[in-house]
Amino acid sequence: MKIAEIVKTLDGSVILGKENLEKDVEMGFASDLMSDVLTLQTSNILLITGLSNVQTIRTAEMADITCIVMVRNKKVTSEIIDLANENNIVIIECCYSMFKTCGLLFQAGLKPVY
Amino acid sequence: MHFQYSIEGGDFSRAGNASSQLKKLLKQLNVDSQLIKRIVVALYEGEVNIVAHAHRGTIDVDIEPDKVFIRLSDEGPGIPDIKQAMKEGYSTASQKVREMGFGAGMGLPNMLKNADKLNIESEPGKGTIVELTTLLR
Ligand SMILES: Nc1ncnc2c1ncn2[C@@H]1O[C@H](COP(=O)(O)OP(=O)(O)O)[C@@H](O)[C@H]1O
Ligand SMILES: [Mg+2]
């Protein structure tokens, strides 16, 4: 699914990475627990999370994740944006709950990792 | 090639810096991206453990043609029962660590899964040494 379609589906705002909206992500994974995210072997996934801190970005970096949706209206700080920018990570903010976000994206055709 | 990084206990804003630097380096060396991911995921969990559980530590990385050897040694409380610590779900992490997205007792099991060899030695009251070996081909 194109990142642009994800943004549209969630009525989200693109905080970082506007130049990457035509890129595709194949699967989604939702968690607030970074150790959980670090168990995934799949790359090029969308991370859906309500955890907005530097470790979220570090986790994405280590796990080769290039797009993050921050749910529950979680805001990112400038420190987070700088780190994400260095690692070429797209950040989307969205005001829906984790459940609604996942439901909408699943319905739109985004595949689960498992 | 040998590299060394120092880690401060409790310094969450910098947790992951060493893993990030190693990742860039391995990319430059054209190591396979799946292998890089295994190495840096294991190292990152180890780095977070020093920040979360110890006072300070040192990470030594040796890159050889056929393997990457990583040694994380720290000064800290140590691990009294390593077998118990290795169990998925076992954690003594603080609330602060949980707020950072860790502390579910998955770090050491994650390291075991991602390394070809994991060796842990610890002296309670003194510190811990974790060694990770990843074969490159
Ligand atoms: N470097 C360390 N120093 C002291 N204790 C540690 C260290 N690494 C791990 N531990 C102990 O082992 C437990 C399990 O570690 P881990 O699997 O990484 O889970 P978590 O860090 O989420 O608690 C920790 O909660 C802690 O009690
Ligand atoms: Mg841990």
What average pLDDT score do residues A21-36 get?
Answer: 96
What confidence tens digit (pLDDT) does each residue in B71-112 have?
Answer: 999 999 999 999 999 999 999 999 999 999 999 999 999 999
CA distance B110 to B130: 13
Q: Report the distance separating Cα B12 and Cα A53, nearest Å.
A: 10
H or E stretch covering A94: none
Token output for B82: 């390593």
pLDDT in tens, A95-112: 999 999 999 999 999 999
A44, A64 contact by CB (below 8 A): yes
Cα R_g (chain B), whole angstroms: 14
Q: Which domains does chain A have, with CATH numbers?
A: 3-109 (3.40.1390.20)
**B55 three-state secondary structure:** coil
Q: Is the pLDDT of residue B137 over 90?
A: no
Sign of CA dihedral B45, B48, B52, B57: positive
Q: Does A36 touch chain B (CB under 8 A)?
A: yes
A43 against B115, higher pLDDT? B115
pTM of the shown model: 0.97
β-pair type (B56-63, B2-8): antiparallel
pLDDT exceeds cutoff 90 at A71? yes
Which residue of B12, B40, B113 is in closest CB contact with A55? B12
For residue B63, the model assigns a pLDDT of 97
Token pair 């630097």: residue: B21
CATH topology of domain B2-135: Heat Shock Protein 90 (3.30.565)
Nearest CA to ligand 1 atom 27: B92
User: Tell me, what's the ipTM?
Assistant: 0.95
Distance B36 CA to ligand 2 centre (A): 20
Res B135: pLDDT: 97
Inter-chain CB proximity A54 and B41 less than 8 Å: no
What are the tens digits of pLDDT across the range B33-84? 999 999 999 999 999 999 999 999 999 999 999 999 999 999 999 999 999 9
Are the beta carbons of B110 and A39 separated by less than 8 Å? Answer: yes
* Residue B59 confidence (pLDDT): 98
Answer yes or no: do A58 and B15 touch at CB < 8 A.
yes
